[in-house]
Chain A
Amino acid sequence: RKEVEQDPGPFNVPEGATVAFNCTYSNSASQSFFWYRQDCRKEPKLLMSVYSSGNEDGRFTAQLNRASQYISLLIRDSKLSDSATYLCVVIDPFSGGYQKVTFGTGTKLQVIP
């Protein structure tokens, strides 16, 4: 089993739709979680952190389910500009002097006019 797994998509959704992505992780001790957005041929950029109680930033909502070991990203009222690849990131506790950072392979979203 991969340490961090995402459905690669693509998710093709019409403008205005609500879409959700999940990201599962294998290490129950993982401590920090993030969502990044990556546009074509660009670097990944931090979209939002994922907090235990869930958090919202405008149209974006991130949630953590520790029992089932997954995080989710919900996008409401999709815009054309939301078209991108969304990467989840999982950070493990300190071990051997450092924390392991693992990226998912990303979920591609295409918002259609």
Chain B
Amino acid sequence: DVKVTQSSRYLVKRTGEKVFLECVQDMDHENMFWYRQDPGLGLRLIYFSYDVKMKEKGDIPEGYSVSREKKERFSLILESASTNQTSMYLCASRPAGIHQPQHFGDGTRLSIL
């Protein structure tokens, strides 16, 4: 079974802090994704990566950056956390083949106070 592991289930940080969310997958998947999900808004793509050191902006990249130094790990960074970044953050991975689904981690509920 594919395993996507997010470093924290719940996280509380303060406004202005630099926040790191880590995601690790164990299936050698090429593609990795970061989403946020808020009530009534569905999944919104923040950034994705289709290879090591490669990254592409999603629909809402402002206020975020990412890092993919190793194939198995994709980090999401909130440069200076703000209260409007309080959300559920979901990491996903998938192989590069066309008929391959995404697999999600359990999610991180991040609260910015």
Contact = CB atoms under 8 A, between A and B. Distances in A.
B104 interface: yes
A19 interface: no
Contacts of B99: 31-32, 49
A93 interface: yes
B103 A46 contact: yes
A57 interface: no
Chain B interface extent, by class: 20 to 34
A106 B40 CA distance: 10
A62 interface: no
Interface in B81-113: 88, 90, 94, 96, 98-107
Nearest to B91: A43
Nearest to B50: A98
B101 A49 contact: yes
Contacts, number: 53
B42 A105 contact: yes
Interface of A is mostly: strand
B101 A106 contact: no
A87 interface: yes
16 contacts: A31-B98, A32-B99, A32-B100, A34-B101, A42-B106, A43-B90, A44-B43, A44-B90, A87-B43, A89-B102, A93-B98, A97-B50, A97-B54, A98-B50, A99-B98, A105-B43
Interface of A: 31-32, 34, 41-46, 49, 87, 89, 91, 93-94, 97-99, 101, 103-106
